[in-house]
Structure 1
């Protein structure tokens, strides 16, 4: 007979093995998120209160939550009841003074602030639809975004009112601009807090538009993506369930609210839970942890290279005690998208973060992925599914092989159909759509049928089927982990081989001297394809001579990468974040256009690989390439 302690230990070990082998917690999480979203949508649709104004109202009227803080911003705190009162006053001002009516689109050009949220929910309170404008836009780009929103009214933050130039105003005849100055704010606050009838907020379907959020515009003018009520419910449940959050949690974000990451994944999650949303005006390594500590945040949000910039920033030292404050916080989980594998452990270890909740989603996307990671097994994955959830997801989403010449999914010459990628093989992530009613899963771009259709792939595996194109190449391994491989268009071809910029950047980022690596392909005279170039920020605190660092970097790249993937050029950038979007996502377009031409690289030192190391590359070397004297 086996002794009881031995038998118990065997049972525990066996359960742990099965748990890890089949990722049972991820199965459970998948069904918790899916079920909670579906039930919420069904209940809200039946009651015709799918508008999230009703969620705010419920918490504001509930004695358990009315006095709880909903918004923390720059030392100010607003409870649910106070926020509700302010929203009703602002909605009365919008309707009675400015004539806004249900279903009107109103542009909101605002920095992160408490007023941004009050105005946003005030529009929802009268059944109007906000169009979130990137407050960094100027000139023609700003005018374009305002024009395609179809809005006849734009409410503008006084801090960005300077962008409303005469040219912008003249290009938008008929549009009214209201700068929400302290005088105008006081006028709005004097309004009686009117709660308008439910009829103004009635919605016929949960796929109806809740708001407009624009694409980043890195490859053209930004496009307004339709964000449905269903998508906001899904986003809030993904964040809340994925971080195992409760009412007692405080979600901190300083990512821009005009993007869905901060507005839908962070703030709306806090709202739906009855928890607290702490808002930073903008991202800065100097204020991030200070605000996290001041607000007592328990869940923080990151996007893009945010965690890298925090990790390479110098530690904050208490001026009195000399104590390192890196781990002086209440954060238990970091939630977001874009945390690269080379930064993952360094970020967790330095700041003492227990859980990483990586989310893969797009504002206009038809599906989302997630990965809850507390150990090394899920490190670097953007998605992870168990045996059951993986099978369910696999019926609605898949990876297909890509033709790198056309940047389109590869099709069999005989059948004309696409081919699924094998386990571990890169492929574009696509999601099945209802062929007869695309809008049930993909609402597209507002007023732009051509852009909407460009994201839809037909006749993929059978005649008449329809799938949503993500534009991202991922890898899905046999253990249910999904990794980002590259963005279509970023992958380049060199020496008849395809090179993933993301994977090369990850390898370079593992070098001790590299603080940031942005990898891209550049066209060279008299050469086919694109040669690899890495724009690097090196750690100046190392004290090592530049040549020694570059020698070491070349040896590291050659030892870790296939020969064709080793960058032939290195460009040294002075500061991290030089080429990023407002959400800290790296941009490559400008760097690609500048190539390695010394006249275009803005004085940055450029080096090229010769005799196994990186040596200076200047005007003479560039002229040699132009003459065809050099063959790489």
Structure 2
């Protein structure tokens, strides 16, 4: 990774004059990010109603066929809220939401936020036992599913603790014609017809401390965990990203292709939009070939990204629509320093609002001052401390306290837990306690362990370095090795499975690789194994490379030894054992020899 240039006070000060026109919005943003009173009645629903009051006739949501003003969209959310309330959805109720990126998903989330209900944002790629686990984990008793995902839900419905209250949304313009719900489902949009379009009184009672979303994260162990995204954290994003950061206005259009079960979409992007009364233009799924056509159609001025998305765009051949495009800014995370300058130059992007945050954590960084190769600035109290990678733990001095690294050195990022920067954590208290470090710099203090290596570069700015532990990141998602190992172990003939991340040149993050020990006399059926993985895992979690082992090395506590496996990766010369690869578009795994390895290294396949 390229090291970001250190930011001296003088270099920082030279950026300030260019930001003077933005000063009023920046100060407003600091107000929202600095609110300490968690009983204060501010929420996503409040932000939506504020935007509808200030910008009633400006476009709020857009897709290929529809364009709704803030007044129209807010009224729709209100009708849905009143309908759901009649169905028993009240403050604190958990409602699982399974919809692809379309206007309906934002309307449902807006309605739930107004009632103070908690939307569990189900990853739309989850299937089978992972999906049933996620739905039962949060004790959901109401379920909203689009017709496009009804099949996936029906497969696990019998495994749910209580699935009597299921609401169906047609796959189409459900605002115009809600259609007929299948047997066993209530038609949510039809229930909303004729309901009051007035703002529900419940919105004024929702507090910063109340949960807004449950967002699923694989974390570092096993099946998905549900992190709590409070209205307070959403309002911090509203202030930090929306007002202090991007500063969008009612003349802006934000193009969103990131999935709406992702924090980047429903918190970072939507909060940025609502803060200034901008419009949000949705696409069901990201398409590199249609990206610039959509930007031109909507005259988008900003878009949300993850690093992989940017790489896909750079890999596309130049097209007419990208030249002189309407984009001026972008917000997201994971833009690699290696392509940062090239991306800005090719597409004429003036501002890269790179940020760092996590659904469960209490800290965020934002590139407010538009420096290159940095996740930006954080107002939170944080430290970057020495970390023992060999023993996988922070280093403590003879007194038992942690030690900060020098500016420019990498270490573990931790953030102090305080009334101003509370830690909402996970739905499972034990999982929350596991990521809290105590007695860090003084007896009795508590800090959130981000699990990430960062480099301080001065003036409260940082650069992301890497993630700790076995979890690796691929396609913008965290992949749990334990979950993948368990799935592989369930396949007939697999005795042991060791999963780890490996790098493919020219890609972001690490893809999955598995070392397998087969039952004596068994042979690998690459096509059957691939079909099994497709059934049980999201696409991003499925390994792309396999190797066969005679024996699996473990530690004294029966943990797999992965260091050498990671170093050898999928290089036939280093491995000296059978190797297999699943190339883009393949239905199964094929043998990987030196010739295919070199082709992959040359970038002949687009993973």
- Quickly name the TM-score band, shorter chain normalised: 0.7 to 0.9
Which residues of structure 2 form unaligned runs of 5+? 1-7, 171-177, 180-186, 482-498, 508-532, 547-561, 571-576, 582-588, 602-607
User: Post-superposition shift, 1:588?
Assistant: 8.0
- Number of corresponding residues: 498
Structure 1 residues 169 and 225: alpha-carbon distance in aligned structure 2, compared to 1, 3 A threshold: same
Deviation at 1:199, TM superposition (A): 4.5
C-alpha deviation, 1:35, in angstroms = 4.5
Contact 1:335 1:356 in 2 (8 A): yes
1:116 maps to: 105
Contact in 2 for aligned 1:400/1:429 (Cα 8 Å): yes
What are the within-5 Å matches in structure 2 for residues 158-237 of structure 1? 158-181=147-170, 182-183=178-179, 184=187, 186-195=189-198, 198-199=201-202, 201-203=204-206, 205-216=207-218, 219-237=221-239
CA contact under 8 A between 2:388 and 2:394: conserved in structure 1? Answer: yes
Moved more, 345-354 or 425-434: 345-354
TM-score by length of 2: 0.73
Which range moved further: 418-427 or 170-179?
A: 170-179
Give the conservation status (yes or no) of the 8 Å contact 1:383–1:482.
yes
- Specify the SS of the correspondent of 1:118: helix
- Residue 370 (str. 1) matches residue 373 (str. 2): no
Distance 1:136 1:46, change over 3 A: closer
Given that 1:143 and 1:172 are in contact with CA atoms closer than 8 Å, whether structure 2 keeps it comes out as no
CA contact (8 A) 2:454 2:463 kept: yes
The structural deviation recorded for 1:176 is: 2.9
Task: Name the counterpart of 1:441.
Answer: 422
Matched with 2:240 is 238
Pairing 1:426-575 to 2, within 5 Å after superposition: 426-434=410-418, 441-446=422-427, 448-478=428-458, 481-489=461-469, 534-536=503-505
Q: In structure 1, what is the equivalent of residue 92 of structure 2?
A: 103
Matched with 1:555 is none
Q: How does 1:223-372 map to 2 (within 5 A)?
A: 223-240=225-242, 241-316=244-319, 324-372=320-368
Kindly indicate whether residue 70 of structure 2 is the aligned counterpart of residue 85 of structure 1.
no
Q: Secondary structure at the match of 1:261?
A: helix
Q: 1:465 to 1:407 in 2, by over 3 A?
A: same
CA contact (8 A) 1:364 1:442 kept: yes
Counterpart CA distance in 2 for 1:465 and 1:453 is 14
Q: Does structure 1 residue 154 correspond to structure 2 residue 156?
A: no
Contact 2:114 2:200 in 1 (8 A): no
- Which fold has the larger relative contact order, with Cα–Cα distance below 8 Å and residues 6 or more apart in sequence? 2
| 1:424 corresponds to 2:408 | yes
Following superposition, the deviation at residue 68 of structure 1 comes to 0.7
- SS at the partner of 1:164? helix
Distance 1:27 1:418, change over 3 A: farther
* 1:135–1:294 distance in 2 versus 1, CA, 3 Å: same
Q: Is 1:410 the equivalent of 2:395?
A: yes
Cα deviation for residue 197 of structure 1 reads 5.1
Does the C-alpha gap of structure 1 residues 336 and 46 become closer, same or farther in structure 2, counting only changes over 3 Å?
Answer: closer
Report what 1:510 is aligned to: none
Written as runs of structure 1 = structure 2, the 5 A alignment for 1:21-170 is 22=13, 25=16, 35-37=27-29, 39-40=31-32, 49-62=41-54, 65-96=55-86, 98-170=87-159
Cα separation, 1, equivalents of 2:95 and 2:210 = 16
Q: Give CA-to-partner distance per residue, 1:253-287, whole Å, 9 cap, x none.
A: 11011111111111122112112111111111122
Counterpart-to-counterpart distance in 2, 1:485 and 1:333:
24
Q: Deviations over 1:427-478 (max 9, x none)?
A: 01000113xx7x96101101x0111011100111111111001111011135
For residue 20 of structure 1, what is the aligned residue in structure 2? 11
Which residue number corresponds to residue 380 of structure 1? 373
CA distance in 1, matches of 2:231, 2:409: 35
TM-score by length of 1: 0.70
Query: Compared with structure 1, are the counterparts of its residues 486 and 36 closer, same or farther at alpha carbon in structure 2 (3 Å cutoff)?
Result: same
Change (3 A) 1:243 1:54: closer
Displacement, 1:307?
Answer: 0.5
Q: CA deviation at 1:587?
A: 8.8
The 3 A distance-change label for structure 1 pair 31 and 177 is same
